[in-house]
Structures are given as C-alpha cells and as structure tokens.
C-alpha cells in the first residue's frame, strides 16, 4: 500500500513534469472525479396523455426525456396503465366507468405497449430487460417496462410469461379499477386481501424475476403478497398517512403497511403527489418514511406525468431533492441510497431470485 509520504512525492513529480498544464487541468489530473450517483424513478408515465389514454407522439415526450437527461436520471419504470379505458378523473377522485369484456384488457395492453415503444424509440430513449443494468456507468436514462394494474392478464397466468417476453419487468397488481388479483386501497373489500389468482401471479413473477409492485393495494393484500413472495416487493409510489382530510388520503399508507414492504427487503417510492402541501413537506415526508422503515428501504416514485397536483413537476428537479435532503441533515451516502442506490440493490435481488426458483 502506498504511504502518505510516497503519495505526496509522486504528486510532486507529476506536478513538476506537467508544469505546462493549467491550474484547472492539473487539479483535474491529480484529483479524482466526484462520485456519480444513481437517480431512479420507481414509477412514471412520461409524456402520458389523459385524453388519448396513451403515450403522446408530441414535443412533450421529447422535452420530458430531455429533462430526464438534464436531471441526471439513470433509469426508471415506465408504466402502461392497464385500466386506462375504464377510469376517468372526477371531482373527488377517480371514477370507474365500466369493466373489461374478456380479452379487451390484453388488447389494450398490446396497444399501449406498441405505442410506448414507438414513441420512446423516436426520442432515443433505450429500454433494458436486465434489472442488473442499473449502475453509475449508465449514461441514462434507461427505461424498464412496467404495467400498472394486472387487469390485462384476464385470469391467465401464461399472460405473465408473454408480458415478460415483451420486455415487461414489473407489474403493479392493482390500480383503480377492481380486478381479480386482490383488494385495493380505494374500493370495497372483495377478497379480504390477495385472491387465489393473485397469489399465483406473485409466485409466477418470482419465477421470472419480475418486480412485484403493491402500490394501490390494501394493507391486507400487501401482507398476503409479502407472505407468498420469495423475493423483495416494491411499493412504487406512496406516502405515509397524515390528516385524513388531505387530498387522496386513501392512497396513503400506515407505518405498519410500510414495514411489511420493508420486511421483505423491499423499497417504497416516496410519492410527490398533491397529498403533500409543498415540495419542502414532500422532502420532510421522505425523512418520515426513512424514520419508519430505515434508510435502505426508501426510494423515489414520481408518477410523472400522471400525478395528482404534483409538488415535483419536472425531472430537472431531481438534483434539488438530493440537495434538500442533505440540507435537512442526511449524509451524502444516505441521500445516494434514497435517490437510486436502494433501487439498484433491490432490483438486483429481484433479478437473482429468478435463478433460485
């Protein structure tokens, strides 16, 4: 090992032999570059159009990807919305308009999948099917395909394998429209947790090494999934409960709910929705989540560009989240974990679970 004396001597020799370099060049030669951090988004729909119920072929998507690059995003789960034709915004929340006829959910999934791949191919955003791809070496942003809601499966487990071959690496079991996988946070209880089909879905996703997302799922559904899974689960976008009269308070989770996810080794994406009163309160709520589940189990899940009254509206704000967390007393290492290192670790564990099945 090089001693301090030897190090100083070598630096002196370098400086003497490179006297023709400028001060800035010499400093860059002698000092290592700052460590690059991973920035990951557990849940997003960049360029999503509520009117088209799809990813838009327009300048907005191009701008969003440009913002991802400016905000140094390494990667994220780009989510199709499985129940998009079944829901619409209402004055007090999401309204369920109808149910799928057999086969319609799968047709809708294929329609959105084709559009997403076309749009992001045009704007030059690459996709990955390897959950181990996430690293500081990534030029970013890298997209991983996800589906929000298991409605497209039509009670057929083999559809999961087909989706896997399509490149999908995460399925959020439930969304707003009730389906046959389990109970939601925002509707009446049907199965008292995860259904028999839902348990089969969890097991199949374990076999394939896919990320099981419990966002929007009831506490009991989450507990049931945690009891069945052999790999960590994620909760891609949520927030800890506060006052019950806050906007979309039904989507907030209890401390016990959060701990169930963490106890599997999983990660919860802190959600910058209008549940938060401000960007500053959002940062405080990230810290609250860390206090409950520990620094290794918190990430970021923006829900961009389909969020409700977001307090984080643009990917260029990602570095601001990191700086705000540091200003509130977190160390650089702790901030790195929240911004993306925890995502890298949990996705790697999920990918490895495939070989153990």
Helix axes of 196-208 and 158-165: crossing angle, nearest 10 degrees:
40
Each residue's pLDDT tens digit, 103-148: 999 999 999 999 999 988 888 889 999 999 998 877 779 999 999 9
Considering only CA atoms, give the Rg of the chain.
22
Instruction: Record the pTM.
Output: 0.88
Each residue's pLDDT tens digit, 201-223: 999 999 999 999 999 999 999 99
Sign of torsion over alpha carbons 347, 194, 45, 107: positive
- pLDDT for 219: 98
Q: Domain count of the chain?
A: 2
CA distances 296 to 78, 183, 201, 338, 343, Å, are 23, 28, 26, 8, 9
Same domain? For 29 and 177 the reply is no
Domain of residue 118 covers 37-356
Q: How far apart are CA 310 and CA 279, in angstroms?
A: 9
Which CATH number covers residue 247? 3.20.20.140
Q: How far apart are CA 295 and CA 298, in angstroms?
A: 6
Same domain? For 18 and 144 the reply is no
Q: Torsions phi, psi of 109, nearest 5? A: -60, -45
Which residues are CB-neighbours of 135 under 8 A, at least 6 positions away?
A: 38, 74, 344
- pLDDT for 56: 79
Same domain? For 192 and 338 the reply is yes
Same domain? For 27 and 169 the reply is no
pLDDT at residue 19 is higher than 80: no
H or E element at residue 41: strand 40-44
Same domain? For 233 and 188 the reply is yes
Q: How far apart are CA 340 and CA 85, in angstroms?
A: 32
- pLDDT for 32: 37
**354 vs 188, more confident:** 188
Same domain? For 137 and 278 the reply is yes
Rounded to an integer, the average pLDDT of 73-96 is 91
Same domain? For 94 and 150 the reply is yes
CA distances 172 to 102, 147, 211, 292, 300, Å, are 20, 6, 8, 23, 16
pLDDT at residue 194 is higher than 50: yes
């Amino acid at each position: 090992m090089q001693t301090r004396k030897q190090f100083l001597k070598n630096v002196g020799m370098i400086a003497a032999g490179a006297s023709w370099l400028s001060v800035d060049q010499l400093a860059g030669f002698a000092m290592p570059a700052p460590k690059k951090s991973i920035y990951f988004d557990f849940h997003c729909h960049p360029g999503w159009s509520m009117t088209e119920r799809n990813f838009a072929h327009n300048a907005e998507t191009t701008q969003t990807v440009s913002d991802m690059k400016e905000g140094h995003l390494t990667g994220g789960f780009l989510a199709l919305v499985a129940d998009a034709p079944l829901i619409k915004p209402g004055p007090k929340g999401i309204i369920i308009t109808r149910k799928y006829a057999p086969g319609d959910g799968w047709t809708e999934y294929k329609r959105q999948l084709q559009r997403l791949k076309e749009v992001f191919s045009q704007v030059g955003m690459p996709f990955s099917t390897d959950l181990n791809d996430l690293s500081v070496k990534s030029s970013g942003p890298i997209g991983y395909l996800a589906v929000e809601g298991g409605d497209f499966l039509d009670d057929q487990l083999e559809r999961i394998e087909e989706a896997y071959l399509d490149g999908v690496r995460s399925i959020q079991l439930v969304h707003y429209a009730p389906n046959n996988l389990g109970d939601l946070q925002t509707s009446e209880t049907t199965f008292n947790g995860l259904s028999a089909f839902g348990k089969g879905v969890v097991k199949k996703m374990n076999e394939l090494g896919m990320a099981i997302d419990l966002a929007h799922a009831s506490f009991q559904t989450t507990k049931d999934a945690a009891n069945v899974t052999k790999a960590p689960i994620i909760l891609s976008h949520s927030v800890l409960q506060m006052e019950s009269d806050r906007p979309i308070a039904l989507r907030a989770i209890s401390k016990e709910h959060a701990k169930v996810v963490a106890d599997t080794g999983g990660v919860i994406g802190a959600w910058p929705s209008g549940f938060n009163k401000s960007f500053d309160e959002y940062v405080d709520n990230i810290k609250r989540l860390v206090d409950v589940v520990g620094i290794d189990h918190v990430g970021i899940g923006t829900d961009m560009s389909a969020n409700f009254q977001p307090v984080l509206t643009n990917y260029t704000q990602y570095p601001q989240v990191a700086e705000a967390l540091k200003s509130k007393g977190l160390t650089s290492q702790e901030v790195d974990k929240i911004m993306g290192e925890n995502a890298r670790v949990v996705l790697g564990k999920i990918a490895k679970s495939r070989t153990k099945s």
